[in-house]
Structure 1
Amino acid sequence: MNKSSSSFWRKLLCTLCFLASVIKQSNSFPYSRLHNGNLPGAMMYLMRYGYMDTPHSHTKSANLLSRDGLRDYLMDFQSFAGIPITGELDSSTIQVMNMPRCGVKDKVGREVHVRKKRFALQGSRWKVNEIKYKISKYPSFSSMDHADVDEEIGKALMVWSNVTDLTFKQERSGRVHIEIRFEDGEHGDGDPFDGEGGTLAHAYFPVYGGDAHFDNGDFWTMHESRGTNLYQTAAHEFGHSLGLSHSEIPTALMAPFYKGYEAQIILHEDDKKGIQALYGVKPEPKKAILPIHLQPRSFGTTPSPIPTTEEAISQEELCNNATINAIVTVHDGNTYTFKGDAYWKLSNDAIAEGYPRSIALDWDIPGNLDAAFTWSNGKTYIFKGKYYWRFSNMVQDPGYPKLISAGFEGIPNHIDAAFVWSGNGKVYFFKGQKYWKFDPDSTPPVKNTYPKPISNWEGIPDDIDDALKYGNGYTYFFKAGLYYRFNDATFKVDEGTPSFPRPAGYWWFGCQSIQSQDS
């Protein structure tokens, strides 16, 4: 060993001894940003996130690494992070190490380097399918109020319930499976936060309690690129709370690094396989099917006959004229659109196989609906004329239909559209040139300042067909086969290429040809 090499490794040994003495005082502490050549900082990072063994406080010495020892640890990290594997503390490695990220270790226990499955399971799971949670401490440095936080946390949990048989229930007090807190610095678990950037949050696996902690020093936001998006971060952390470790696939939700604001969370197949290995695949919703000889109830109108397969509106007709009556996303995450006596289930980019189907047979309500929306309690409300029905996914709740005037005081009959606006969580009803805001927590639920002109919603036309609050945070308005994407942050129709409105047949229903009336 030459003199320069001997000097380097003596320094490395001293560094390890120093780290051991520091960790003796605290199991974990905030880390500063790394810079070129910051070897101790890189070693701290590798120890914190499970790539290097942490020196125990009771040891009297630190093992001397071989010449290739640190190189192997760096290569392991680079392989996991999906960056060039050089074994050097180069600029790409430093850049990734400085990215905001989850505080949970990438390596849990002594993992093998080659997995038969790409997804990583920590080894514990909840033994029940209904998971209760509560938010004990809300963020103090945020653009959101408590109701906004509740909504974003609920959406983040729904990311996992959409692909499994899990359900989540928020509690305000008492014992729960997952407790959620926004904390500053050292907060009692030996894993302190570091303020804005750096470690954003950490969560415990089910065997350790499942709780999720978020750094109160970060600026938490919704539906915008500034700050840190709570929906994205929480969805990742709840993956840990349910039993998933970090994924080495960079595009997976369970990858450890915060990738910046994304309007819509789409689970990677790796995420789905991991969570379904723990909790199984989501079963198909049970459908309320009427015997073929029964007629749908008329409720004061002349009932239309139940359509046969030959009489049902075909997908080709939907593509030829993409005008719809209603569209809604129900509690289990499925989106349905209604037209005439038929309905379709939407996939990510087209119509699901096996559709259209009969509204009367599957939903037990008349066709030619007016509007529909799903409330925060998971219930879906469907409107026609002066009546409305309430559903749990596709199963009709008993005791319906009811009069709109009885259940939605201040809202007119024969509405055009209904949706929950993400800007404030209230229900909005549109009819003709006017709209109403419905707040069930207020008395009366509709203020005397309503109705107001639809022109307040910049770029939205009168006499719309329906509207939908979609899972990506935007509100979509539909009229005459076209759709408008509304930016809730700027309160006007969004900008895009191509511009809005766009043909719904092509962008929503997967039609390959765009008819002239839709262009």
Structure 2
Amino acid sequence: MEFQSFAGLNATGDLDEETMELMQTPRCGVKDKVGFGSDTRSKRYALQGSRWKVKALTYRISKYPKRLNRKEVDDEIAKAFNVWSEYTDLTFTAKKQNPVHIDIRFEESEHGDGDPFDGPGGTLAHAYFPVYGGDAHFDDAEYWTIKSTRGTNLFQVAAHEFGHSLGLSHSDVRSALMAPFYRGYDSNFRLDSDDIQGIQALYGRKTSGGGSQQPTIKTTKKPNVVQNDNSNELCKSPKIDAVFNTADGNTYVFKGDKYYRLTENAIADGYPKKISEGWPGLESNIDAAFTYKNGKTYFFKGTKYWRYSGRTVDGDYPKKISDGFTGIPDHLDAALVWGGNGKIYFYKGSKFWRFDPLKRPPVKSTYPKPISNWEGIPNDIDGALQYTNGYTYFFKGDKYYRFNDRTFSIDQADPPFPRPVAHWWYGCSNVPATFTQSGNVKQDPNSDSRDTNHNDVDGSVFDAEKSELLELLHAGNDYPSPAHDEYPGGAANTHQIVFSITLLSIFLSTLVSKVFL
């Protein structure tokens, strides 16, 4: 009955012919009903809960399909992105090399992300929401076609998947592009008003030209910070065991045998709840947790770890950390998937480890490294996560730190970090008077922006030694040698050379002085 309701069928609960036919229809591999809370957003678009903080996005097709011409694929992918830029100020630029915001690949079967494809039919493609990197994967076992009713139309599937890459979940409006089922090639394709409302709710309307359909979108005032009852356990003792996001966009805090769901400004009503009831099979007093881009949530305690799909533990868990995460120690302090490069980072005491499941060995011999590389972050942290606003946060005791992924140091803001976690995350009133100014629980009016290059970080640079960095500088076209900047008359402009050397010195002092993550 739930399937029928979401698919826009008559919710009879009977397995009738229409229901059977739709269940066998090829579809997107992204889960339905992904969004905040229990609101299923009946008959309208659904927002996953994360979005890009920049509107000038880049993409790269790093692996092309076997049976299509590359130029035609380039054109269809660009056209699919244009579906969304027509109604917003988003722009999409193709690049030949990393780093990019959205990586596009055509793969078959198991392809390294924990979500194997199933061959022709069934799951056509899947994509990750912005908080998990935005990448899109297409099953290369499908018979992809262009402007044809035969096979599977690349343009329409790509446009759908890029909706996920931008932060849209599946819609229960059957005419919407973001409906989960593939409807076949439509030569007169138009974006449904439901899709337009969804994308504009995330990124706003196009400010000039563009789409003719401009639906009215209701807006609500941002709520004031809710002050929680100080009898709440987290208000009395803010120290936590773990904090993490789930694939549905919710943020949870674990402490002892209880867990709390956080809203934008406070602890959600009805919490705390028992971990044993919310995540059956999971023990209390966990050490760390994170959700990977495959949508799976991992919990760590002592020498063991659990893997969950939503609230259901996967088979044969728990397992030993030494078996599933080779090179990672037991009894962890915290873990997160860092937005700078999509890798998993583990923290314990004064050290951290980087884990890449696609590499062998998954932990490089240069690890562990000192936590002091994350400038300003203390040892023995309690929790860490990349929040849905794109910022990285670390928690210790009754305080939290917001980390600037561009400068690799604690973010500069007013009031400064660290801040009391009880007020800014839990909505408690028992905090120092100097920290009680109103504002967004995770951000503040004076530091609300995110650097436009935040998502353009190539993971390789964080392993560079000084010599490797210098080679990168000399090899890259973005950093010309000042000695070759010649001007009319054959003589180099001295002021230009001095200025270029100064910029290079600043760059080197910022990067070379650090041991990269």
After TM superposition, the score normalised by the length of structure 1 is 0.49
**Higher RCO (C-alpha 8 Å, min separation 6):** 2
